[in-house]
Amino acid sequence: MSALALSVILSLISAVAYAAGAIMQERVASDSPGRPYAPLRHAGWWVAMTLNGFGAALHVGALAYGPLSLVQPLGALTIVFALPMAAVFVRRRAGGAAWRGAIMATVGLAGLLSLTGSADSSSLPGGERAVLALATFGGLAVLFLAAHRVRRPVVRSVILAASAGVAFGTASVFTKTVAVDWTSRTPTAEWPSLLVIAGLAAIGILLSQASYRGAGLAAPLATVTVVNPVLAAAIGITLFGEHFRYGALGTVLALFCGAIAAGGLILLTTERLAASTSQSPAVRQPQPAPRPPVAAPYGAPSVERFTGATPAKRRDQTATPPALR
């Protein structure tokens, strides 16, 4: 088996594992609303972490055998696997708009990254690694603060999911760098990068878990699935010498595919916003206060005689009038 075929197989199995982990995370988020980031006491959360860890290990193996521009588009199949798996195993069926948005995001992302040409395997020098790590952690802090200033739960979840995608995408870049530079002679030289990978992976897991709170499965997962490889591909083009194929035509096609992927994310977000609005309780209109009954003058026929209503207390119709002075 060639290295390219092995990379493809590992990437597909990794996507299935990530999809199963995302389904478990969404269920844990709905069962434990009070612990949005790390519900340590929930057994399902540990199952999700195991699945994500298995998917990450396969992803690392795929990056070791194949180029970054090939492995990352195959990871976009996570959202395609997740929706039917959720319908079969946990009875969470997605609507037509969610399917259209997921397919648009996946097709646009796959087309975008397939146009990215690969370069020779290379790594980042120490100075560029430090700048990239500081910029990533600073950007994550800004996105985290922005998410907690948003009032709408769905928009907040999408921002948190985008933050998780940034963390995972940068971790993939550092993983590729470590895989290229790793040798048996100098393993200790990679410990700073390994610490950065561990920190970004932990932050990404916590942010992705919080993103499923009140937003369902499709919108947060699609956001993570798109942001992660797009950022990794952008870093690959900028720092690793990768480029778009077919020159100017490839650049135009890449922009078109990026617009399709963005349209899919917007469709997923608006679909979830509409669903959350329809599920909210209707606003009750204030009812006018009942008018007090008007007392009939003495001797006039009672109102109940004409309406047929039963009075709470019948008046004595035979009462004698007051004496005349």
pLDDT, tens only, 243-289: 777 777 887 888 898 888 888 888 877 776 676 666 554 444 445 55
- Residue 60: per-residue pLDDT: 80
Phi, psi of 163, rounded to the nearest 5 degrees: -65, -45
pLDDT, tens only, 16-41: 999 899 888 888 888 876 666 767 77
Local structure of residue 187 (DSSP, 8 states)? G
Long-range contacts formed by 253-256: CB under 8 A, 24+ apart: 253/111, 253/115, 254/111, 254/112, 254/115, 254/116, 256/111
What are the residues whose beta carbons fall under 8 Å from the beta carbon of 247, sequence distance 6 or more?
Answer: none
Confidence of residue 295 (pLDDT cuts 50, 70, 90): low
Measured in whole angstroms, the distance separating CA 74 from the mean position of its chain's CA atoms is 18
**What is the spatial distance between Cα 107 and Cα 261, in angstroms, rounded to a whole number?**
7
| Domain ranges across the chain | 3-278
Q: Using a cut of 0.75, tell me whether the model's pTM lies above it.
A: no
pLDDT, tens only, 77-108: 787 788 888 888 777 776 777 788 888 888 88
**What is the spatial distance between Cα 167 and Cα 295, in angstroms, rounded to a whole number?**
75
Calculate mean pLDDT across residues 210-236.
82
